[in-house]
Amino acid sequence: MALYDPNSDLAVLRVPSQNASPLQFLRTTPRRGTRVHVVGFPLNATRTSAPGLIDGELRAQGRDIYNQTILSKTVLVVEVNVQSGNSGSPVMDGSVVAGVIESKLISQLSTAYAIPASVVERDVARTPATGTASTKNCLT
């Protein structure tokens, strides 16, 4: 892991250079009703693409991953059926990243929350070129 941001619970990984172009980030907040798809490997399966819709943006409060601080952060609400293993999956608006799946609402299986692209892009930009980062003693 190259960088860990405990405020957004986002890890940035460094991968060996490939002959592929990196994904681009959406520059604006997607509008409610925007069609998206979540690409991931849920339940340790093969790669899937789950269709969904952006249902808005909200300000959420909760404890940090170390259970020490109460944080307030903005998340995208995505109406999509995600499974275990989709955390960290990109929410794609066409060919650009609108966000990254963070969690899902247990009481409504089709509601998930995503870290907005602006937060992901900020963390990617501040990732050092070398070295590793630790999550320290995060909750399990």
* pLDDT tens readout for residues 39-94: 999 888 889 999 999 999 999 898 888 888 899 999 999 999 998 889 999 999 99
CATH class of segment(s) 20-117: mainly beta
Q: Which long-range contacts (CB under 8 A, 24 or more apart) does 29-35 make?
A: 29/57, 29/76, 29/116, 30/54, 30/76, 30/93, 30/98, 32/56, 34/93, 34/98, 35/93
Output the pTM of the full model. 0.90
| Residue pLDDT, tens place only, 91-130 | 999 999 999 999 998 888 899 999 999 999 999 999 998 9
